[in-house]
Amino acid sequence: MTFVGYLDRGTFIHRLDPRTKIITLIIVSGSLFTFNHPAYVGLAFCFPLLFGALARVTDRIWQLRIPLLISALVSALTWPFYLKSGTVLFTIGGFEMTNEAVLYGLAMGLRWAGAIIVGIVFLSTTRPDDLYAALVLMRLPYAIAFVISLTFRLVPTFIGVGIGIREAQVSRGLDTKAGNVFNRARKLMSLAVPLFMHAIRQTNMTTVALESRAFGSRTSRTFYRRYHIKSTDYAALALTISLLLFFVWLRWSGFGVVLHDRL
Amino acid sequence: MGAGGSGKSSLCFTPNGIIPHLLRGQYSGRTLVKDEEVATSKVWRMARHVGLVLQDFDAQLFSSSVELEMAFGLENLGVDRDEIGDRIARYLHLIGMEHKRQFEPASLSGGQKQRLAIGAIMCMEPEILIMDEPTTDLDPIARREILALATHSRDRGDTLLIADHRSEIAFDADEIWLMSDGEMVKRGKPSEILSDIQLLKDSRVMPPPIIELMKRLGYAPKLWTVAEAASVLKARRLGQDTNRRSRVVPEQTNGSPARPIIQVNDLTHIYKYMSIPGLKNVSLSIANGEFLAIMGVNGSGKTTLAKHFNGLLKPTSGTVQLDGRPIESYSRKQVASLIGYVFQNPDHQIFAATVLDEVSFSLRQLGYDKRIIMDRAREVLEVVGLLELEQEDPARLTKGQRQRLAVASALVTKPPVLVLDEPTKGLDYIHKKELMRLLVDLNQAGHTIVVITHSLWMVAEYANRVIVLNGGEKVEEGPTRTVFTDEDKLKSIGMNVPALAQLSNSLGLQGMTIDEIVEELAGS
C-alpha cells in the first residue's frame, strides 16, 4: 500500500535533519493558525503545497484528495451554523448565515486541509527511525519517543491487516451498505473486533521482540546513522521562521482577520 | 519438540527473562543463564547472552531499512558506531542480504524477513540462540535457508535451541527434548526419540513418515533415510513378482468428465498498488466434486488466483466463470453462497461473542429466517465437532478449534465449493489430520474442495488433482500421483517431493501414504 509511510524520492527535503523537519512541521502548521480570513489562510496554505512539491510527494497528496476534501468541506459547512456575529447573508431552515461566518468556515476548511498536508509531507519524507532518533536527540525519553515512532511504523501493517479482515468478512456475505443503523453497527463490529484483537496480540509480540533486542537498556544508546544540522537545515529553518514572522507581522497589522475574537 | 500448546514457547521465553518479566503468571523454580538468576535480572541484560527469534517475523521487524534493523539491538546496547558498521557488514553477508541493505523490511518476502530477524539477533553475538518455530510460516526453500543459518551458528560453537513441531527439523540435533502438556516427556538423542513412533504420536507430533513406515514393515527402529529405506525395500522386492500392477490404489481418473464449476480463462492480474507479482495467463477448470490442491512456493500467485474464485480480486484481463456464468453476473451475496472461502488466519474473521453467533454470521447477512439460521448453524457445528462448544467464547478455543470454526462459518451457507487458503497453517499434526479428514468427508458429501498449500505431504495424502503455480504462471497440472513423479521439476521450483512419495517413486510404486505403501508391498 502506498497511502502512508515513507516515500524515498531523494530530494533535499528528505535529506534534512529529522529535527529540522519536526521544527518545520510545527512552524508551518503554526503559520496556518495566524490568519482566519480564507484568502490569507490560502496564502499560508501554499507553503505545505510548496514543500510537498519540493519533496516530490504531490502524487501522495493527490491520492488522499477525497479524505482531504471531505474534512475541509465538513469544517467549512458546519462553522457557519455555529457562529452568529456579523452581517446576515441568507437563512437556511431558521439558521442565519453571516458573511463573516461563511468566510471563517472557508478559512477553517483550508486550515484543516493544510494541516493534513503538512502531516502527509512530513510522514512521506521522514523515516520512523529518524523520527525516533530526532525525538531522542531532542531529549525525549526513549520509551516515549519509540511509542510515537512505533505508531507510524505500525500504520502500514494495520492497513494491510484491515484489508485482509474486510476480505474475509465480504467472503462471508458482509455488505456494509445495507441495513439500518443498528445492523450497520453490528457489521462494523465484524471488522473492528478482529482488528482490535490483532492490535493487542501484535503489541504483545512486538514488546517481546523489542526487549529481546535489548530495548530498555540502561546503557546510553548509540545511533548508527549520523545526524548533523547542515547548512541546508539552517537555510530551511531561517526561511520558515522568517515566513512565520512575516505572517505574524501581517496579522499584527490587522490583515487576514475575519473574526477578531477567534484564532 | 512438541505440538501446539505443549509449552515449547514458554520454555523459549524463559532464558532471556521474557518469562517472568514480561509475560507474567505463576512462576516458581529457577532459571540460570551463565550463573545469572534470570528472574532477578532484566530482559535487556539477558539479551547480551540470549538471542530470541520468534515465529511471527512481522512482529520482530520495526525499522525502515534492513541496515537499521540490524543496527537496532546494537544501538540499544550502546555499541560504538564503527563496530556497528563492521558487524552489519559481517552479518549481512552471512544472511546473504548485502544487496538488500537499503531495502524496507516490509518489501521483503517471508523467508527474507525471517532471515533478517535472525541476522538482527545474531549480530548482537549472543552465545545462546533460541528460535521459536522459526520456519513454520515459510515455504520449503526459505526453510532450508533458515536451517543453514542455524547450522552456521552451531558450527561456531554457540548453543542453539530450536523449538518446532516438525520432526524432520530435529534429525541433526545433538539432543531432543520432547514436550507435551507443559512437561518434558523425554530427553535423548534423535535416534532414540524419533524412532519411538508411539511416544511421538502420544505427544501429538507427526513421526518421521519413513521411520514409521519401516517400523510398520517390521524393520528395527533407527533414523532411516529415503535412500537407505529404498535400498532395503528394493532388495526385499527382488525375486518377488514386481510386474503385477498394484491393486490398492484406485486409478485417479474420473469416469465421466464432471461439469466444471469454476472456469478460469487466460487470467492475468497485475497489482496496482503493491509491488508483488500477480498472475500471467492462467487458464484452468475445476470440476464439480473434485478435491484439488493448488501448490507453489510463497509468492507464486496461489492466493491471488484463489481470490478470483469469489471475486475478491478482479482480473486485469481474462475471465472467471462460476457454474457456467461469468462471475460478474452474480451479486456479492450470491457468490458468498456459492463459494465458501476460508482464510489463512481464522483470527482475521472471528468477532462474535459465542461460537453459535459466529457461525450464523453469513446466514444473517444473507437474510435467512431465524429458525433456519439456528438449525443450519447447529448442523455445521456438529459436522466440525464443535457443537458442545456452541455457547463458548471463540477467543477461548484452541487454534485447531478456531480453524474448524472458520471452516464451519464458510460451510454454513452450504456452498457447493469450499476454497481454503493454507487451512492447516499453525496447526499441529493431530489437528491437521482432523481438519483434512473433515475435508475428505465434505468432499465425499459432494462439496468441491480447493486447498491452497505448500505442505506437500498433505497434498500427497488427500488431493486427487494438483495445479502447480510458479512466478504467477501455471507450470504443471494433473493427477497428484503423476505430478509427484517428476521430482526434478518440482525441485526446480523449490518444492521437495515428500519423503514417502520419493520412496514410492524409487520403488516404482503407486501409493504415497504409509497405508498405501504397506498394502502395496504386501500385495506384490
Cβ–Cβ gap B18/A208 under 8 Å: yes
* Greater model confidence, B88 or B3: B88
Among B47, B68, B69, B49, residue whose Cα is nearest residue B58: B69
Per-residue pLDDT band for B240 (boundaries 50, 70, 90) equals low
Residue B244 has pLDDT above 50, yes or no: no
Angle at B481 between CA B480 and CA B484, to 5 degrees: 85
Say if A168 falls within a structural domain.
yes
Q: What percent of chain B has pLDDT over 90?
A: 62
Which fold does the domain B260-483 belong to in CATH? Answer: Rossmann fold (3.40.50)
Torsion over CA of B246, B250, B254 and B255, rounded to 10 degrees? 80
Q: Measured between CB atoms, which of A164, A165, A214 is closest to B44?
A: A214
Q: Measured between CB atoms, which of B54, B79, B332 is closest to A209?
A: B54
Say if A257 falls within a structural domain.
no
Interface subset of B 338-397, CB within 8 angstroms of A: 339-341, 343, 345, 347-351, 361-362, 365-366, 395
Cβ–Cβ gap A175/B332 under 8 Å: yes
Say if A136 falls within a structural domain.
yes
Report the gap between the CA of B418 and the closest CA in chain A (Å).
11
Q: Measured between CB atoms, which of B84, B362, B395 is closest to A172?
A: B362
Mean pLDDT of A24-47: 91
> Hey, is the C-beta of B452 within 8 angstroms of any chain A C-beta?
no
pLDDT of residue A84: 75
Lowest-confidence region among B171-175, B249-253, B285-289: B249-253
* Greater model confidence, B227 or B249: B227
Q: What percent of chain B has pLDDT over 70?
A: 95
Architecture per CATH, domain B8-193, reads as: 3-Layer(aba) Sandwich (3.40)
How far is it, in rounded angstroms, from Cα B204 to Cα B400? 13
Rounded to whole angstroms, what are the CA distances from B156 to A207, B90, B160? Answer: 29, 14, 10
**pLDDT tens-digit map of A238-255:** 999 999 999 999 998 888
Say if A24 falls within a structural domain.
yes
pLDDT of residue B78: 92
How far is it, in rounded angstroms, from Cα B175 to Cα B114? 24
Residue B326 has pLDDT above 60, yes or no: yes
Per-residue pLDDT band for B447 (boundaries 50, 70, 90) equals very high
**pLDDT tens-digit map of B191-206:** 999 999 999 999 989 9
pLDDT of residue A1: 44
Q: What is the largest CA-CA distance in chain A?
A: 67
Say if A118 falls within a structural domain.
yes
Residue extent(s) of CATH 3.40.50.300 domains in chain B? 8-193, 260-483
Report the gap between the CA of A148 and the closest CA in chain B (Å).
13
Quick one: closest CA in A to B73, which residue?
A: A213
Mean pLDDT of chain A: 87
Rounded to whole angstroms, what are the CA distances from B491 to B294, B368, B499? Answer: 16, 49, 13
Locus of grid cell 452581517? A87
Per-residue pLDDT band for B251 (boundaries 50, 70, 90) equals very low
pLDDT of residue B494: 86
pTM for the structure as a whole: 0.84
Cβ–Cβ gap A175/B106 under 8 Å: no
**pLDDT tens-digit map of B305-319:** 999 999 999 999 999
Report the gap between the CA of B73 and the closest CA in chain A (Å).
5
Report the gap between the CA of B271 and the closest CA in chain A (Å).
10
Find the distance separating the first CA and the last CA of chain A, reported in whole Å: 37
pLDDT of residue B239: 60
pLDDT of residue B428: 77
Is the sign of the CA dihedral B19, B21, B26, B31 positive or negative? positive
**pLDDT tens-digit map of B147-163:** 888 888 888 888 999 99
Q: Measured between CB atoms, which of B74, B120, B312 is closest to A167?
A: B312
Interface subset of B 420-449, CB within 8 angstroms of A: none
Residue B211 has pLDDT above 90, yes or no: yes
**pLDDT tens-digit map of A108-141:** 999 999 999 999 999 999 988 899 999 999 999 8
Mean pLDDT of chain B: 89
Q: Measured between CB atoms, which of A150, A198, A218 is closest to B62?
A: A150
Interface subset of B 248-287, CB within 8 angstroms of A: 273-274
Q: Write out chain B residues lying below 8 Å of A201, CB-based.
A: 347
Q: Measured between CB atoms, which of A175, A205, A224 is closest to B75?
A: A224
> Hey, is the C-beta of B400 within 8 angstroms of any chain A C-beta?
no
The conformation of residue A98, written as its DSSP 8-state character, comes to: E
Residue range(s) defining the domain that contains residue A30: 13-216+248-252
Quick one: closest CA in A to B18, which residue?
A: A208
Residue B241 has pLDDT above 60, yes or no: no
Is the Cβ–Cβ distance between B509 and B519 less than 8 Å?
A: no
> Hey, is the C-beta of B312 within 8 angstroms of any chain A C-beta?
yes
Number of domains comprising chain A: 1
Size of interface A-B (CB pairs under 8 A): 179
Q: Write out chain B residues lying below 8 Å of A217, CB-based.
A: 44-45, 47, 76-78
Q: Measured between CB atoms, which of B58, B72, B274 is closest to A157?
A: B58
**pLDDT tens-digit map of B117-142:** 999 999 999 999 999 988 877 877 88
Q: Write out chain B residues lying below 8 Å of A221, CB-based.
A: 75-76, 78
Q: How many CB atoms lie within 10 A of CB A207?
A: 17
**pLDDT tens-digit map of A160-204:** 888 889 999 988 888 776 666 677 777 888 899 999 988 888 888
pLDDT of residue A186: 76
Cα-to-chain-centroid distance, residue A13: 17
ipTM, two decimals, is 0.81
Cα-to-chain-centroid distance, residue B397: 20
Mutate to test the interface with A, among B63, B72, B76 (most CBs of A within 10 A): B76
Q: The sheet that has B159-163: what strands, in order across it?
A: B50-53, B128-132, B159-163
Per-residue pLDDT band for A90 (boundaries 50, 70, 90) equals confident
Residue B25 has pLDDT above 70, yes or no: yes
Q: How many CB atoms lie within 10 A of CB B354?
A: 14
